[in-house]
Amino acid sequence: MGPLRGDPSRHPEVPRPAPPPGSAPARSEPPAGDRQLTHLDERGAARMVDVSSKPTTERVAVAGCRVLLAPATLELLASGGLPKGDALAVARVAGIMGAKRTPDLVPLCHPLPITGVELDLRVEADGVAITATVRTTGRTGVEMEALTAAATAALTLYDMVKGVQRDARIDELRLLAKRGGRSGEYVAADVEPPA
């Protein structure tokens, strides 16, 4: 499998959002008292959480993943030689569309007024690192929108290269950082914030 094997210790650099004044300190896991499934009511039935009493705040989420590719596929990607065209540009637009369509795909997500979506697709030695940053000013976070943006970009990139490499692999999809709301800031423990 050589060229398709990813290095799990490497992750894309994540812009660490500046904490708002008076916010909770950064932490990698919620405190034990906050660990509950909020999308279930007291009987265990699924529900959309009522966020009407939450304050409107700036919220930012960063998610990422990697698409592992063979050297020959990376050469085609870099040279613009893929049969379907500019794969990185198409994947970037797809990621933005994915963020905007999240409540249509994930049933209990609230439709949110997204104020910004950035997709960074960086070609590396063994694949493409994808980082999605989503922003809103609202009553609930945009973690699912960031994850959906990264996943949609990765799926689109796979679609663009599958004609030359069917065994391309999407790996390491996860939330890298978030800011805003009651839970404050989260930064994944193994992510190095930029200087």
Positions marked catalytic: 159
Residues 176 and 14: beta-carbon distance below 8 Å: yes
Residue 108 vs residues 47, 53, 105: alpha-carbon distances, Å: 7, 18, 9
List the structure tokens of 7.
């290095």
If DSSP codes are grouped into helix, strand and coil, which group holds residue 23? coil
DSSP secondary structure code for residue 80 in this structure = T
Owner of token pair 């999240």: 102
> What is the b/e burial string over 99-134, where b = at least 16 CB atoms within 10 angstroms of the residue's CB?
bbebbeeeeebbebebeebbbbbeebebbbbbbbbb
